[in-house]
Amino acid sequence: MRIALFGATGGTGRQFIRQACAAGHEVTAVVRDPDRLTESHPGLSLVEADVMDPAAIGPAIAGHDAVVSAVGSRDGRAPTTVCGDSAASIVQAMSKAGVRRLVVVSAGTLTTDGDGPLTRLVLKPLLATLLLKNTIADKRRMEEVVRAGDLAWTIVRPPMLNDGPHTGTYRTVVGRNVRGAFRVSRADLADCLLRCVTGGEPINAALGIGS
């Protein structure tokens, strides 16, 4: 498959490049600053473009089978619109290019469905009102943009991310969070994104993931 990737310089994006290229797929990493991308592979192509500009990223998306976005803010507490704005640009560019398959990384903090009482009643309200309110608001707008578009989308909602190993033994569930899952490695999240792309499911649904 030919996959266009946004957020390639982040931890999840780098893991996705390694796994997708190792599996024989062609990955086009669309980045604003090529110097920040240290990955190298025969199956990896690099395109310099601003994700916020639909006209600029359109040629990088055209001719691909799917688009993956692992775009995120580097400061979880600061006001940001990077996820929502980038999603709007990507959806617009995909629609014009005729590419329909989109997989995006969101956050498990956006819902309490499937969570235990402590997480639902204490931890999530604390995160939503204090620690991560800006990130959550941005991710929520991103999801709204993706859902409103005429694409075959999958929203992947991980819990806290870490730099643990690639195990491939994580759990997933459609439409809610994975009960008792408080973290997952970026490597396993990348594995899940690749499976969503290559397997084609779930379509137009949110997918919870956790170790």
- Residue 207: what pLDDT? 97
Contacts (Cβ under 8 Å, ≥6 apart) of 106: 139, 142, 143, 155, 156, 157, 206
- Domain CATH number, residue 43: 3.40.50.720
Tens of pLDDT along the chain (211 residues) come to 999 999 999 999 999 999 999 999 999 999 999 999 989 999 999 999 999 999 999 999 999 999 999 999 876 667 789 999 999 999 999 999 999 999 999 987 656 566 666 565 556 555 655 557 788 889 999 999 999 999 999 999 999 899 999 999 999 999 998 988 889 999 999 999 999 999 999 999 999 999 9
Q: Tabulate helix, strand, coil % of the chain (nearest 5).
A: 40, 20, 35
Phi/psi-derived region of residue 147, left when phi > 0, alpha when psi is between -120 and 50, beta in every other case: alpha
In total, how many domains does the chain have? 1
- Print the domain residue range for 184: 2-210
Give pLDDT, residue 120: 54
